[in-house]
Amino acid sequence: MIPKHKPHTENQGSSRIGMGFTEFVITIALMTASIAMAIDSMLPALPAIGRSLSVTSTNDAQLIIGVFFFGFGVSQIIFGSLSDTFGRRRILLGGLAVYVLAMFGAALTGSFEMLLVMRFVQGIGGAAVRITTMAVVRDCFGGREMARVMSYVMIVFMIVPIVAPSVGQLIISYTDWHWIFILLGIVGAVLFLWALLRLKESLPADERIPLSVDSIVDGFRTVLTNRITCGYMIGLTMFTGVISAYVISVQQVFGEVYGLGDWLPIAFAATAGGIAVANFANGFFVRTFGMRRISHTAMIFFTVISAFGWVMALDAKVNFALDYALFSILLMMFAVIATNFTAISLEPMGNLAGTATAITGFVSTSVGALLGGGVGQLFNGTVQPLFAGFAVFGAISIVATLFAEKGKLFTHPGDSPQLDPGAAHL
């Protein structure tokens, strides 16, 4: 089950699914951005949803975000093998259909418990979209070209968090929160039609893996015994915990600690804009400096800055300007780390990209969501838990990366060419 060679050039890669490079990037980005929309548009509406559905604790309202993350994480494990066997397109279309139906289901619900069920199902549909879009990118590109494509995808992807909270705020200003789900359902339906009409299959039939217990076990063994994939999967888990903790806590931090109120969407948009800038810079510089030099440097800075933020937060005095600057820098570091770690972890996998994406996604998202949710539940009216969690996650990522690279940071012999899955065993 040795993965076959994939095209790495820009034209060969995008033409594999019958698209130009720009259309390819925008299509993949919009598919993944729909997931961000389902998260970030909820942020201004959490208090209103809580009041409408008689949620007594403001910390419980975090579950509207956390349950989506959890469903998104735990269900990824099943979609990788399915997409490696049946192709990316079928799984993508099925995931979009589930996502759309669950959105309209959430719009019709009148209980908090049923809303959480619909959010979990939305996460399952979103997981299918995430697995297949990342596998499509890996089918078409490899190495630094993959990191470059993913950086450009992330630029489009991050436009959504910039505008999503404002959209949610606008909707609840003129109508009720149910219309957020209706809007998301309509967006998902449009994306379904676009994929149906424009997206060709990226995994040819002769490169697919028959669905059997032996093939699944063999695929999992290949992924889980690869030092590079596993080490960076742990790092991705920690940084999924970072973004989960931030998104889950941001409404309370900006609302209760800093008293921003209606300014929340603008404050959130500015940090999301920084992420977009960081990904643009990564896409520009990754060909020159490589994925490892950029991400390893960012990881170390992230950990040090987080520790500094925690020390400063021990002072009871609230310092919004400093904290906001630190959060903005940390999220920019997060952007280049997550993008490059994802590319590095999938680089050795070839046509096992679906299985590899599923396993890394399952572990990083489900465990990261639990870690981030745990940090969110520690909210005590200060930013201390958030900075402390970031510092711990960063430190663990450094250890995991040292394990993956056998103690050597910033460079690796396989940074440019593809690796064989058997070339970096545990």
Is residue 418 pLDDT above 70, yes or no?
no
**Per residue in 51-75, is it b (16+ CB within 10 Å) or e — as a string?**
eebebeeeeebbbbbbbbbbbbbbb
Rounded-to-integer distance, Cα 348 and Cα 350, Å:
6
- Say which DSSP state 61 is in: G
Place of tokens 């009720």: 176
Q: What is the pLDDT of residues 249-269, one digit of tens each?
A: 887 888 788 887 777 777 877
Residue scoring higher pLDDT (150 or 425): 150
Q: Which residues contact 294 (CB under 8 A, 6 or more apart)?
A: 282, 285, 286, 336, 340
Q: What is the pLDDT of residues 125-136, one digit of tens each?
A: 999 998 898 888
Q: What is the pLDDT of residues 25-48, one digit of tens each?
A: 888 888 888 888 898 888 888 888
Residue range 369-382: mean pLDDT, rounded = 87
Is residue 50 pLDDT above 60, yes or no?
yes
Q: What percent of the chain clears pLDDT 70, i.e. is strictly above it?
A: 88
pLDDT of residue 7: 43
For the ranges 250-259, 302-311, 411-420, the lowest mean pLDDT is seen at 411-420
Highest mean pLDDT among 105-119, 158-172, 336-350: 105-119
Confidence of residue 416 (pLDDT cuts 50, 70, 90): very low
Is residue 248 pLDDT above 70, yes or no?
yes
4 SS3 class = coil
**Per residue in 96-106, is it b (16+ CB within 10 Å) or e — as a string?**
bebbbbbbbbb
Residue range 101-110: mean pLDDT, rounded = 94
pLDDT of residue 14: 63
Domain locations in the chain as residue ranges: 13-423
Q: What is the pLDDT of residues 7-29, one digit of tens each?
A: 444 445 666 767 778 888 888 88
Helices 143-174 and 21-40: crossing angle in degrees, nearest 10, is: 40
Place of tokens 């970031």: 390
Residue range 59-64: mean pLDDT, rounded = 83
Residue scoring higher pLDDT (417 or 284): 284
**What CATH architecture does domain 13-423 belong to?**
Up-down Bundle (1.20)
Is residue 60 pLDDT above 60, yes or no?
yes
Give which of 393, 398, 375, 226 is closest to 297, Cα–Cα.
398
Residue range 160-175: mean pLDDT, rounded = 81
Is residue 333 pLDDT above 90, yes or no?
yes
Residue scoring higher pLDDT (211 or 113): 113
Q: 64, 56 in Cβ contact below 8 A? A: no
pLDDT of residue 157: 65
Is residue 5 pLDDT above 60, yes or no?
no
410, two tokens: 């910033």
Instruction: For the chain, give the mean pLDDT.
Output: 83
For 237-346, where are the E strands, in sequence order? none
Is residue 143 pLDDT above 80, yes or no?
no
Residue scoring higher pLDDT (123 or 79): 123
242, two tokens: 């970072």
Residue scoring higher pLDDT (417 or 70): 70
**Per residue in 224-258, is it b (16+ CB within 10 Å) or e — as a string?**
eebbbbbbbbbbbbbbbbbbbbbbbbbbbbbbebb
Confidence of residue 419 (pLDDT cuts 50, 70, 90): very low
